Structure 1
């Protein structure tokens, strides 16, 4: 199985390496050792059906409010094949559906099962039934001339919780597909379940001069943990000092997250518009960068206050941590003379490190 990075990932890694501050903290090593001791649950493949044509009556679920119309039209018109894989990981019943055009999806499904197996093994879960639909499109998250960021530029997946024991996930981009899977599974398993307080919402409205009734800070928590787990799982593809590899990747993600947030603040500063108008831009980019600036303290907090690092026990504890973060400094000098036509500037993807699975 390939352990290479995607071309976009390589370009971003090369761009960020000179800007990277190596984040070699004891808390990070301790977290790595904790993840490394995970006892993986048993996997049983129940069935695998390949190359069934959609026109045989298989319906696509495109009901997610975060999937843009352009992507929906492409999915309906172009993705004519489906692979369905049913499996069990421990006591979790999983149905994977991959809608595709002409990709070889076997490597993707194999890697995907590794990812799902790991995250479902790191702490207790109550979920019994899980369905994930993958729509393999080449749409990327990119800036355009419009200043307000919308779901077409930001969102790649969604999760619907059904009752207490079932979840339904849709993912519609090949870009960051494994990391997005981790993100949506954190939601599905309820690891990041808490609600913002009025005090927290007011805090961010005043700090960044925005006017929004919802912050959804749990998206920042979810995304940063998806980053961490993705880096750990990629580190396991090498036998040569995986801990060092993990630390390097986390350092890249930290530097990139701050760079990305400053880029968004730069655009907002020029145009004075609400950056949180259409989707959870503020949490994904700004709050996440604030957390990364105190990343060692964040990991210490997760160890002390959560179950198995990742599973929040008391939402008030993480809210207090967020309130204690520093305001992200705006650094427009980084962007005054930059080539704004390059991918490294235009991209809105949330991670640097991505394994090639297609």
Structure 2
């Protein structure tokens, strides 16, 4: 794992313990199903013809949706592009990796192996109309997500790592940071494979969320669905690649341990973002003068605050998905289901154990080594 993982973990172990909710049998059964698909995907990778080419003189300019500072860095520097092309379940996949220094074949092979296994798994649940042709561009820049000057608005430069489109026949994913790139890829594929509810009418669910959290925000509740599953799936991949003999029981044990720390870190990042605006969790969900300090230019409420509730109650989240969507990653696309998903927040955001835990974390000192980062996860594979 990356050094940042060990740095964060060392600090997290000094925090007071938070409630350690266990995964239910129902949740474990579904995660076991995902692990079985990982195993299938690993076998399929070894049998799939993958076309690979190198290009050391790539002059292609990056997309204008990438934040200007990062875009200029990408366009000015010499890049080594590695292209891959393969098919999964009848879909055509193209992957272009842009590195800014020589990268070993061993690393490249690890990366494409992970990408293939995840897509093999996700496509098992995706509607056939989505992503018949998928292009993935990954720019491995060293531009990390960090807090700006206190009280200033948070925007793409500080919190975003990628962008994509919703479900269509031809889709494209652009990832513009090395930091958390694989977790971000998982998140973005939920959009372009039509596994989320981004194309549905979300007016009523947004009204409910803004009633609970009366701040100026472009609520995108579907982002919490993509991000919560991405964070859960990310640690599952780490468990998968660190376990021998396809021992799913062992993978589940490791996943539960890592999810504890991801849940804790999610709460830390939530309180950190609020502190940036001079706010507490109590202030943001009550209509106070103080809450007017909250200023976002990207979906901070969804990414850091609402998502921390779904992650804290991670087993309830998985159980909710299984009850309302079925044994799938594909969100059931009805207005009623979206409203139920928003009601999950209503049912959990003021639970006493959550309020007590948030208060404990707000009162705890965050070390300088991690006080500025806006990354969303602890664990990251090299």
TM-score by length of 2: 0.82
Specify whether residues 324 and 286 from structure 1 end up closer, same or farther in structure 2 by C-alpha distance, changes over 3 A only. Answer: same
Structure 2: which 5+ residue stretches go unaligned? 280-289
Specify whether residues 206 and 193 from structure 1 end up closer, same or farther in structure 2 by C-alpha distance, changes over 3 A only. Answer: closer
* 1:8 aligned partner: 4
- Which structure dedicates a bigger proportion of its chain to helix? 2
Shift of 1:149: 1.0
The answer to whether the 8 A contact 1:211-1:274 is kept is: no
* 2:116 aligned partner: 113
Specify whether residues 319 and 269 from structure 1 end up closer, same or farther in structure 2 by C-alpha distance, changes over 3 A only. Answer: farther
* 1:281 aligned partner: 300
Distance 1:135 1:236 in 2: 25
> Which shows bigger deviation, 33-42 or 281-290?
33-42
Pick one of 313, 336, 340 that aligns with 1:320.
340
Distance 2:328 2:13 in 1: 28
The answer to whether the 8 A contact 2:35-2:240 is kept is: no
Distance 2:4 2:315 in 1: 28
Distance 1:280 1:274 in 2: 16
Shift of 1:264: 1.7
Distance 2:295 2:342 in 1: 18
Shift of 1:11: 1.3
Specify whether residues 150 and 322 from structure 1 end up closer, same or farther in structure 2 by C-alpha distance, changes over 3 A only. Answer: same
Shift of 1:277: 2.6
Asked if 1:23 is matched to 2:32, the reply is no
Distance 1:120 1:319 in 2: 26
SS, match of residue 170 in structure 1: strand
Specify whether residues 122 and 196 from structure 1 end up closer, same or farther in structure 2 by C-alpha distance, changes over 3 A only. Answer: closer
Specify whether residues 337 and 217 from structure 1 end up closer, same or farther in structure 2 by C-alpha distance, changes over 3 A only. Answer: closer
Distance 1:33 1:10 in 2: 27
The answer to whether the 8 A contact 2:62-2:74 is kept is: no
Pick one of 340, 345, 349 that aligns with 2:371.
345
Shift of 1:74: 0.3
* 1:68 aligned partner: 67
Alignment of 1:223-262 (within 5 A): 223-237=227-241, 238-239=243-244, 241-262=250-271
Specify whether residues 202 and 268 from structure 1 end up closer, same or farther in structure 2 by C-alpha distance, changes over 3 A only. Answer: farther
Distance 1:249 1:269 in 2: 30
The answer to whether the 8 A contact 1:210-1:274 is kept is: no
Pick one of 171, 191, 213 that aligns with 1:187.
191
Distance 1:274 1:197 in 2: 26
The answer to whether the 8 A contact 1:28-1:247 is kept is: no
Please provide the CA RMSD for this pair.
2.5
Specify whether residues 337 and 311 from structure 1 end up closer, same or farther in structure 2 by C-alpha distance, changes over 3 A only. Answer: closer
* 1:355 aligned partner: 381
Deviations 1:62-101 (A, max 9, x none): 132xx21110000001142211111112211011111121
Shift of 1:339: 5.1
